[in-house]
Structure 1
């Protein structure tokens, strides 16, 4: 006869015995220990061996609940599965799901890759996910994050009008899913299917002056700039050396060798991955006579400090990243016409189209890396002569443009 709740409640084990087992039926029994604990077990056979499966403790598990658990286990047995083994697998799967949340996999990927990224990129990558992705799907097992759920998360970002960020987050999530696949946390990458589900982003290049006449207007405006002398010098030097705005405004006097007319930007100050910053070569920028003249004139004003272009508020920091942009606006060049970064595009375009300078030489000077056999060669310090010729030619051309000379294409010497 099946056990009643009263029989289970009154069941006891004499102290001289290790345990007492009270049969309920079909292999189910209640095991009572001398200390008073009472546990349900089901005895069954699988693969010719006797086994038993724990089904809970009394009174938390009442007799009726214990029988239901026994019947569920019997169905597994009859289907050819070992109930005890199935329980172990289910437990492992639950544990894996709790550990392999989207957030856990994302942070594991970040920890794995951050050492090879620049500090700025590593910080921004994680910060973006922490703000716009993890609050919504971070606590879910990564296997439960399907395409519709990820899309709704990305559309929250898209709804704020930052379409480019939504696309960037999709790519970052794709990296997380690929990493999850590699460590066995998931099998699919739903981010890969969502490229067409987000609003397209129109690529907008940095505004730049690209025509000779407009470049001449720009140079004359710079020559006539009536603001701070260091700002005017930074503007003209930006045109002459066409380096990244961050490298111009953060330029240090220790990088400048006026005697040899050379600017040497340390590897750790360049736009590179972390390995390139640590192990890479510095970037060499030959200075045309006009650039040397500008720096010599500025040296009495700022040469006593660290930075060539120090902050106007405190000499302890470099010029603000907005100083040159504001100066361009004061001269009548808004963000749709010219930006500090636009000096690079202006130099590359006009030198290729008007001065017939080989693109690979310019790319090397722009620090864009090796774009071909010439780029590979010109990216080495011992090939400086070609760069010097190019920089001198460019400085002379800018002066001709500012003087309003007739602009016609001609070959580099």
Structure 2
């Protein structure tokens, strides 16, 4: 009959002294305290799994007490009763913990971002990762995604709101929700707290891009002339071109000289550079004809003497292989005293309203010059009219109208157009 081990007392592990050779103090059930020659004491448990004799480590005494070691032995015995090897179970749990800890929000956000790159424009891709790097990664980026709770997400978003960037807070929240969903789709459990926060953030009031009215044109043109000396010459030309041809800011500053034919007076923007051409679903593959007035052509010829030797109409001052920054137009408007009163997009709104109301052109002609998508999808499928001839006349009329205001020959306001 096997000899039964007498359970240890609390005093025995505490008072055990080292000897010339390592020795054991047994507690029964395979559990024992191994005392090394240097006096270090380690809890161990011997057991059999199948035909193999194995040993588990339960930690060092006194960090792990006798009572805690017995709890570990009991847990191991329960696993053995279920046919589970406790050593392998411990390794599996540690591996899962390591995987969990390695799946941080930043790691998964960057994976998601890289996965989405083929479907995004460069501007969208850059803005998305930049917002995460500025506002989210410093707050929760290093946390395992499964450990992120509502209060963590709220604190990060509140910090964005605290600087008055309410719309950005909403956009970042939506981006974070997509990252959590991406993790879930890869079998990484998380709560997706961003998806459930419908009433936490302050609502964003719907509004329009800041834009001056036709009545404010004389003062605006005067401010533009007054500030010419303060502006970098290509920036000055960019502002005037925005006024004359009212394309989107990105469509202007990212234009390569290869799109411009100065001899023919033509500028055709390839469809893939247009806003509707960048759609991932049913992109519009129609190239956009930018009808140029004589005034616009003169500006482009002047610009060509400055930047015509490079790739872009408006190269970046630091790196000519890149286009001008989007913020250059806004900075110029700020120097003119029009911060929050006028934007790059505001030139489009100004032209739309003024050309219809003051010059009497039909909405669809101006709309086609703006390259807007038709709201009526059925009509859009059949209506391929470019109105090129009418648009050329309209754009020259618009440029002459602007010149007339600048020279005082056109009076704006309730009187409409009047030649002195």
TM-score normalised to structure 2 length: 0.69
Partner of 2:390: 389
Give, in angstroms, the shift of residue 163 of structure 1: 2.6
Q: Secondary structure at the match of 1:197?
A: coil
Q: Where do 1:329-368 residues align within 5 Å?
A: 334-350=338-354, 354-358=360-364, 362-363=366-367, 365-368=369-372
Displacement of 1:182:
0.8
What aligned pairs does 1:141-220 form with structure 2 within 5 A after superposition?
Answer: 141-211=144-214, 213-214=215-216, 217=218
**Pairing 1:3-402 to 2, within 5 Å after superposition:** 5=13, 24-28=27-31, 40-41=44-45, 43=47, 54-56=56-58, 65-74=68-77, 82=84, 84=86, 87=90, 90-211=93-214, 213-214=215-216, 217=218, 221=222, 227=228, 234-249=238-253, 251-265=255-269, 283-291=287-295, 293-295=297-299, 298=302, 301-302=305-306, 305-306=309-310, 308=313, 334-350=338-354, 354-358=360-364, 362-363=366-367, 365-368=369-372, 371=375, 372-375=377-380, 385-397=386-398, 399-400=400-401, 402=404
CA RMSD of aligned residues (A): 4.9
Consecutive unaligned residues of structure 2, counting only runs of 5 or more, are: 1-5, 405-409
**Cα distance between partner residues in 1 of 2:224 and 2:26:** 102
Q: Which has the higher contact order (CA 8 A, sep 6+)?
A: 1
Q: Which residue of 2 aligns with 1:16?
A: none
Q: Which whole-Å CA distance do the structure 1 matches of 2:154 and 2:236 have between them?
A: 48
**Alpha-carbon distance in structure 1 between the residues aligned to 2:134 and 2:335:** 36
CA contact (8 A) 1:219 1:398 kept: no
| Secondary structure of residue in 1 paired with 2:288 | strand
Separation in structure 2 between the aligned mates of residue 311 and residue 104 of structure 1, nearest angstrom = 32
Contact 1:230/1:298 (CA < 8 Å) preserved in 2? Answer: no
SS in structure 1 of the partner of residue 387 of structure 2: helix
Query: Unpaired segments of 5 or more residues in structure 1?
Result: 14-19, 409-413
Aligned pairs, number? 386
